[in-house]
Amino acid sequence: MAIPSSAERAPRRLEVDLDGPGPGEELVAHLRPVLDDLTAPPHPSADADGWPAENGAGERADAAQLLPLLDAQLASRWLDVAARRMRAADEGFYTIGSAGHEANAAVALATRPTDPALLHYRSGGFYLARSRQAGRAPRTGILDVALGLAAARDEPIAGGRHKVFGHPDLAVIPQTSTIASHLPRALGVAWAIGRQQRLPARLRTPLRWPDDALVVASFGDASANHSTATGAVNAACWSARQGVAVPLLLVCEDNGLGISVPTPPGWIAAMFAGRSGLEYRRDEGRDPLATLATARAAADYAREHRMPVLLHLACVRIGGHAGSDLETAYRQPADIASELERDPLAATLRAVVAHGLLTPEQVRRRWALVRDEVVIAIREAIRHPRLGSAEEVMAPLAPRTPAAVAECAVRSAPEGERRRVHGAQLPEDEGRLTLAQSINRTLADVAAVEPGLLLLGEDVGRKGGVYGVTRGLQRRLGASRVVDTLLDEQTVLGLALGSGISGLLPVPEIQYLAYLHNAEDQLRGEAATLQFFSGGAYRNPLVVRVPGLAYQKGFGGHFHNDNGLAVLRDIPGLVVACPAHPRDAPAVLRTCLAAAAVDGSVCVVVEPIALYHERDLATAGDGGWTAPYAAPDHWSAQHVPVGAARTWGDGPDLTIVAFGNGLRMALRVGIRLRDEGIGVRVVDLRWLAPLPIDDVLREARATGRLLVVDETRATGGVSEGLVTGLLEAGFDGRLARIAGDDSFVPLGRAAALVLVSEQDVEDAARLLLS
Ligand SMILES: Cc1ncc(C[n+]2csc(CCOP(=O)(O)OP(=O)(O)O)c2C)c(N)n1
């Protein structure tokens, strides 16, 4: 539905004036006496507050950095005030601010504007300092943030889709609101920096990081407890322990609170100090020169040693968690007041005078000048149009360019290179291959033509995957391209996200569908949203391989037979493929890899485990579940666009639509019915998102009878969407559906009691024909 553009809306109610009483005044009121007092500046003591001071005089940064620090901090604070006033006037939509956290501007000044940064939501100071550092006018960074608050379409990264800190020119990668979810990706970017160097120049993205870049990732003290954070830090230490380069500067901004829940005193230091593989530095956030020096020392360490460093930065939270948070409901007034005394902005105001950089009068003028800059930016921001249609909202979500994908999908390496990656024999000369073999050969072929392709996951390297799908690839492609990771699915996906955003083409394997759920947010919240929240400025091409679905013999139980796909199908923009037959798998996989490379698509390939090593279709020894591997000159003819089904047979009496294991059952039933003179055609969906509704509709109309075979569960299974889509598209023939029971899959033969069986398919088919 279209909403009125800003030009058509009622005149603005916001009288932008940041001075005087009103929302947000609580963020600056305590600073007015500080400004008035500046004639006799007290010099802050580094040691007086119980935080051990480790900031040696030798590490002190150049005092000249105090001015850019002050400007960034002032602008950030006034933007926080503005956010609350805009909200009150219904012209702004986000009031989580940075007040009390502005010491993070020192981290920006300690790093380079080309160092990738993934930031905590209280990073106004960092963002504005980096914007200036990159040579942009002060007003530009301020306007970026103001546009974000106003949800303006012209905001430079999310385009009004979210309030984030991000900018491709500043190497700031936008974060989501899910605390700590950016940390696995941050690790992945740090991990990818060294790998990027090995790419040929033509494959390097415009976002290619400098070879000596480090990655900055910040988060709050409560977020540090999140399993995603502990997993990412653990993985960074695990990697560093083995000598893997991880130039990662983790910044824990410790304000002692997670909304209303206090962090136990000393907890952050207890978690991170003295940890193997992690350099720990801390700063009390009281003396801006000390903060600059500590931040610089921490950044230099990460850059030089290519090791993870944790900078523990003491912060305070001023003005509650967000504008809507009534802090007095859970905190004592005295505690709130004592925070104000530790305001880092007050410390910087004093320091610039104490170090002779500005006179008190000049400081007061700067205070007013920056405030006025913010007012100008806000006035401008609220005049900008906002998103006005669903099409506009969704434009960057998952762009598709099928022709370019098709061209990319059929590229082949020269024969010499193919022989190197395949070993002695080219796959087209191997005879008929199983599903597992055909996936293996396809991965090698794409690796031969795409130097950025990386395979990673638990056991994919030396062992070649739990089902042997990646067997031999590490030996032939090298250990830097086929990587055994530690046992943590969030890290597997995080490494892939970080390397994808860095221009590589990651193909992570999640060992079983059931274990994707551990790490699902990395796909849902991080991978799939990146283009949406960055207007396509950042992308994470990704092809996740997931051995899954049920019907495994000899390895039973739910967790190795998970048949739930709803969790993937409802992620906007995600491509979900399910290649069941070796005749299709190479082309489907090549399309996914090409879609990732060309469009930055996020793809999940669900590989039916039970069919990996199957050889036969109707009778023992018939080889009906094997297929010859096509030589490169046939790839064009065999190309499979995203969302295109395949029809087996052209029987006139009944259409069965299925996928995965259901395809094999449907084909077997079709063969038996054909022997009785009943003509069946079987449609293999091949793609579970987007669903090939048009293809199925065409085939269903051809017979007037459609049996939907869904091996996933009746509730939330694939067929719910399929049947809805067909009815909406106007199918009015006879229709029946069979699906698995709404149960987890039990061990042993009992599995058959809740799964769709071949007999079920046959019975339903006969009923429909009767
Ligand atoms: C995974 C997740 N759970 C819950 C929330 C809701 N939430 C938003 S901020 C926050 C507190 C975070 O505290 P901390 O990490 O200390 O950062 P601070 O806000 O204090 O800077 C919570 C629980 C969330 N955003 N993400």
Q: Whose CA is nearest to atom 18 of ligand 1?
A: 220
Ligand 1 pocket, residues with Cβ under 6 angstroms? 122, 177-179, 220-223, 253, 255, 257-259, 317, 321
Quote the pLDDT of residue 62: 59
Substitution site in 259, 317, 529 for ligand 1 pocket (most atoms within 8 Å of beta carbon): 259
Contact predicate 576/604, CB 8 Å: yes
Torsion, Cα 26 30 33 34, to 10 degrees, reads -130
Tokens of 715: 């509730």
pLDDT (tens digit per residue) in 644-664: 999 999 999 999 999 999 999
Predicted confidence band at 142 (pLDDT cuts at 50, 70, 90)? Answer: very high
Q: How many CA atoms lie within 13 A of 358 on its CB side?
A: 22
Instruction: Please list, in sequence order, all residues whose beta carbon lies within 8 angstroms of the beta carbon of residue 682, skipping any fewer than 6 positions away.
Output: 647, 648, 649, 655, 656, 657, 658, 663, 666, 667, 670
Calculate mean pLDDT across residues 183-209: 81
Q: How far is the CA of 724 from the centre of ligand 1 (A)?
A: 38
Nearest to 183 by CA among 242, 270, 118: 118
Predicted confidence band at 424 (pLDDT cuts at 50, 70, 90)? Answer: confident
Q: How far is the CA of 175 from the centre of ligand 1 (A)?
A: 13
Q: Whose CA is nearest to atom 26 of ligand 1?
A: 178
Q: How far is the CA of 223 from the centre of ligand 1 (A)?
A: 6
Inter-CA distances, 281 with 130, 254, 299, 668, 729, Å? 22, 13, 10, 65, 61
DSSP state of 61: P
Nearest to 641 by CA among 572, 595, 698: 595
Q: How far is the CA of 425 from the centre of ligand 1 (A)?
A: 54
What b/e string do you get for 295-334 counting C-beta neighbours within 10 Å, with b at 16 or more?
bbbbbbbbbeebbbbbbbbbbbbbbbbbbebebeeebeee
Overall residue count recorded for the chain in this entry: 770
Q: How far is the CA of 243 from the centre of ligand 1 (A)?
A: 33
Quote the pLDDT of residue 7: 44
Contact predicate 43/355, CB 8 Å: no
Calculate mean pLDDT across residues 485-497: 97
What b/e string do you get for 170-194 counting C-beta neighbours within 10 Å, with b at 16 or more?
bbbbbbbebbbbbbbbbbbbbbbbe
DSSP state of 447: H
Q: Whose CA is nearest to atom 20 of ligand 1?
A: 258
Predicted confidence band at 58 (pLDDT cuts at 50, 70, 90)? Answer: very low
Q: Whose CA is nearest to atom 12 of ligand 1?
A: 258
Contact predicate 105/73, CB 8 Å: yes
Predicted confidence band at 195 (pLDDT cuts at 50, 70, 90)? Answer: confident
CA angle 512, 516, 519 (to 5 degrees): 145
What atom in ligand 1 is closest to the CA of residue 177? 25
Contact predicate 722/708, CB 8 Å: yes
Contact predicate 508/481, CB 8 Å: no
Tokens of 519: 């790490």
- Report the first-to-last Cα separation within the chain, whole angstroms: 45
Instruction: Please list, in sequence order, all residues whose beta carbon lies within 8 angstroms of the beta carbon of residue 327, skipping any fewer than 6 positions away.
Output: 319, 320, 321, 336
Calculate mean pLDDT across residues 599-614: 98
Name beta bridge partners: 508: 456
Calculate mean pLDDT across residues 362-384: 96
Substitution site in 119, 121, 123, 179 for ligand 1 pocket (most atoms within 8 Å of beta carbon): 179
Instruction: Please list, in sequence order, all residues whose beta carbon lies within 8 angstroms of the beta carbon of residue 256, skipping any fewer than 6 positions away.
Output: 221, 262, 263, 265, 316, 317
Confidence check: pLDDT of 291 > 50: yes
Q: Whose CA is nearest to atom 7 of ligand 1?
A: 179
Q: Whose CA is nearest to atom 25 of ligand 1?
A: 178
Element (H, E) at 84: helix 66-88
Name the phi and psi angles at 516, rounded to 5. -70, -30
439 vs 283: CA distance, rounded Å: 51
pLDDT (tens digit per residue) in 529-556: 999 999 999 999 999 999 999 999 877 8
- Residue 218's SS3 state is strand
What atom in ligand 1 is closest to the CA of residue 219? 15
Nearest to 586 by CA among 721, 435, 399: 435
Element (H, E) at 595: helix 585-599
Confidence check: pLDDT of 41 > 60: no
Q: How far is the CA of 226 from the centre of ligand 1 (A)?
A: 9
Distance of CA 381 to the CA centre of its chain: 28
Q: Can you list the positions of beta strands (E) in 538-652?
A: 542-548, 575-577, 602-608, 627-628, 646-648
Inter-CA distances, 635 with 413, 428, 630, 765, Å? 13, 12, 7, 35
Q: How far is the CA of 259 from the centre of ligand 1 (A)?
A: 7
What atom in ligand 1 is closest to the CA of residue 220? 15
Quote the pLDDT of residue 90: 94
Quote the pLDDT of residue 53: 40
What atom in ligand 1 is closest to the CA of residue 120? 21
Contact predicate 476/421, CB 8 Å: yes
What atom in ligand 1 is closest to the CA of residue 122? 21
Quote the pLDDT of residue 304: 98
What atom in ligand 1 is closest to the CA of residue 255? 20
Contact predicate 688/663, CB 8 Å: no
Q: How far is the CA of 222 from the centre of ligand 1 (A)?
A: 7
What number of other Cβ atoms are within 10 A of residue 758's Cβ?
A: 16
Contact predicate 141/127, CB 8 Å: yes
pLDDT (tens digit per residue) in 687-719: 999 999 999 999 999 999 999 999 999 999 999
What atom in ligand 1 is closest to the CA of residue 101? 21
147 vs 308: CA distance, rounded Å: 34
Q: Cis omega (within 30 of 0) on the bond before 690?
A: yes
Tokens of 543: 């092809």
Tokens of 201: 């120049």
Q: How far is the CA of 183 from the centre of ligand 1 (A)?
A: 14
96 vs 80: CA distance, rounded Å: 8
pLDDT (tens digit per residue) in 393-417: 999 999 999 999 999 999 999 999 9
